Amino acid sequence: MKPKATLKKIAEKLQISISTVSRALKDHPDISLETRKKVREFAEMMEYEPNTYAISLRTNHSKVFAIIVPAITNFFYQSFISAVEEESRLHGYSLMILQSGDNPETELDNLKLCRQNRVAGLFVSITIKTTDIRAFLKMEDLDVPVIFFDKVPDFEACNKVCVADRAAAELAAEALLRHKRKKILALFGNDQMSITRKRKEAFTSIIEGQKKIKFKADHAHNPEEARRLIHRYCGNGLTYDGIFCMSDDILTGVMKAVQELKYVVPRDVSVIAMSDGFLPQLYEPEISFVETSGYKLGKVAFTRMLACLSGSTFVQEIMVDAVLMERGSL
């Protein structure tokens, strides 16, 4: 157990004061070039590394960002996290990852950990059940920027970064219409989420603006529910020729059913989804999707975080454009 080098130890060995060592390592002009060199070399040799805790104790903030998501086992969050982690490292920050498990209580526990670790900033996608965001706003009182992403609260005065949900859903609807689909089934997720409502409203308004379109919308909370819905709606004969899936979860359930029913895509039925793109390319033909990239969102969120840290108190909601990726399923 080799004891770590500290300023003190270096100072003792070199017979100079701690402050001189500290300044020398920071290339402070008060210290002679000779001394600076001597100290730098010795510190190098001793493998000196500043004690983060001492620094954080003084400055009362750390070089650590935290990120709270319902679950990291999710493509979207995964790529979001990946992006933020990359940027963090590039900027000398570390990243602390916490899962709320879609449980508001755990979410509060996590928030507590963030406070205890005096994180420099916080990225959070709230749970479906989170209604009270005061605890989050309190963080901002402590000068810890909070960037909400993906699942964001309705509350106005906070930093939000999200996919242009309405535009994305519209793109998908228009794509189905462009391919002359007349009988459209749209499956959405949990109706409690604002994200669901936005997508549903946008999708519906495009479809209902058309004449002679048979349209049905429904909700599934998980892949299995989506699968059952397809069996119910399309189990005896093809009553629909176009299916919209709001998320990866829904897509997997839908495709399971479609394959079980031996429907051929896109001959029998067209499928389009909102996704980050990983799952759609697993199928044959690949599924067309409107890209909702967690990665891009992560990059944007990070930029916003840096802006907040450098004093921009201007609260805003940032949208990341959605792009239609046409594959073979339409």
- CB-count burial class (<10 Å; 0-12, 13-18, 19+) for 106: middle
DSSP classification of residue 74 = S
Q: Is 283 left (phi over 0), alpha (psi -120 to 50) or beta?
A: beta
Of the two residues 43 and 98, which places its CB atom closer to its own copies in the complex? 98
Residue 71 site contact among its own copies, DNA, none (CB < 5 to 8 Å, cut-off depends on kind): its own copies
C-beta of 95: minimal distance to DNA in Å? Answer: 22
Q: Cα-flanking dihedrals φ and ψ of residue 53, to 5°? A: -70, -40
Residue 143 partner contact from DNA, its own copies, none using kind-dependent CB cut-offs of 5 to 8 Å: its own copies
6 binds, among DNA, its own copies, none (CB under 5 to 8 A by kind): DNA
CB 287 within 8 A of CB 304: no
Site residues, DNA (CB under 7 A) = 4, 6-8, 15-20, 22-23, 25-26, 29-35, 48, 50-51, 54-55, 57-58, 60
Which residue type does 158 have? C
82 binds, among DNA, its own copies, none (CB under 5 to 8 A by kind): its own copies
Q: Which is nearer to its own copies, 52 or 205 (CB)?
A: 52
Q: Cβ neighbours of residue 310 under 8 Å, at least 6 residues apart?
A: none
Whichever of 3 and 29 has its CB closer to its own copies, that residue is 3
Smaller CB separation from DNA, 4 or 91: 4
Least distance in Å: CB of 17 to DNA?
A: 3
Q: How far is CA 204 from CA 152, 184, 244, 246, in A?
A: 22, 10, 11, 12
CB of residue 43 vs DNA: minimum separation in angstroms?
9
Buried residues in 209-239 as b, exposed as e (16+ CB within 10 A): eeeebebeeebbeebebbbebbeebbeeeee
Kindly list the residues in this chain that would bind its own copies in the complex (CB under 8 A): 1-2, 4, 49-54, 56-57, 60, 62, 64, 71-73, 75, 78-79, 81-82, 85-86, 89, 94-99, 101, 106, 109-110, 112-113, 115-118, 141-143, 252, 255-256, 259-260, 279, 282-284
Strand order in the sheet with 242-245: 214-219, 183-188, 242-245, 270-275, 288-291, 323-325
Nearer to DNA, 34 or 156 (CB): 34
> Looking at beta carbons only, is 31 or 206 nearer to DNA?
31
CB of 53 to its own copies, least distance (A): 4
Could you tell me if residue 250 is left (phi over 0), alpha (psi between -120 and 50 degrees) or otherwise beta?
A: alpha
- Which helix (H) or strand (E) covers residue 36, if one does? helix 33-45
Nearer Cβ to DNA, position 4 or 89?
4
Shortest distance (Å) from residue 44 CB to DNA: 14
